[in-house]
Amino acid sequence: MIREDMERELLAQPVRGLQYMLRRLAQRYPKLPELAVDGVFGEKTLEAVMRLQRELKLPVTGVVDRGTWNAIRDGWLALEGEQTVPRPLRAFPGERSSVKPGEEQDFLGVPQAMFQMLARYFTGITLHTVDAVHGTESVDNVRWLQRASGRPETGVLDRQTWDMLSRLYEAFVVKSLAEARTNFLGGWG
């Protein structure tokens, strides 16, 4: 469920939403009791609200006014942002899509930039301006990748070529950045 859907659901059933957020926030605030998400504002929910108000230095009233609700929601959103896996970026438009030599497509800038990064690791990739035009240099890079992966050298950027480019980028650029970060942080990151 995406965050916007979750927020809508929380507003549609406010006590359940409150309990759900407090239950999640108990990971960050161990003094909060574990709540059942049952939609009943009972003693445990009251206790959790009051303990969180104390933790957040809000007036400890047990009342979920606008300030308390916003603080709980903001804390929950921050926690979700830290713990949820981001949606993968879909940069190539679809299975049957392709870019032929000479064509211009806005999304072509992404694979062109990926080739530029991969040029640090491979010979045979032509450096050029990222311009979203599948011109000579861009076509040469696609042909290089098709040749390297044993595919027909058409120069057409299709789904199979995009998938190979993505795998190379992940294996060399993303892995390299992750290793550099770990080395920089001394294994603490």
Provide the CATH number for the domain around residue 37: 1.10.101
Same domain, 113 and 45: no
Tokens matching residue 185 = 């942080």
> Which of 75-79, 112-116, 161-165 is the least confident region?
75-79
Tell me the DSSP string of 79-116.
Answer: HHHHHSPPPPP--S--TT-EE-TT-B-GGGHHHHHHHH
pLDDT band at 156 (very low <50, low <70, confident <90, very high): very high
Say what percent of the chain tops pLDDT 70: 83
130-151: pLDDT as tens digits: 999 999 999 999 999 999 888 9
91 is a domain residue = no
Give me the mean pLDDT over the 102-117 stretch: 95
Number of folded domains that form the chain: 2
90 is a domain residue = no
171 is a domain residue = yes
pLDDT of residue 3: 56
Same domain, 102 and 175: yes
3-21: pLDDT as tens digits: 566 556 656 688 988 998 9
pLDDT of residue 184: 44
Same domain, 62 and 113: no
User: Could you tell me if residue 18 is left (phi over 0), alpha (psi between -120 and 50 degrees) or otherwise beta?
Assistant: alpha
Does the model's pTM come out above 0.75?
no
Same domain, 119 and 44: no
Of 83, 110, 127, which marks where a domain is finished? 83
End-to-end CA distance of the chain: give it in Å, rounded.
28
Tokens matching residue 174 = 């993303």
Domain ranges, residue 33: 3-83
Distance between CA atoms of 97 and 80, rounded to whole angstroms? 34
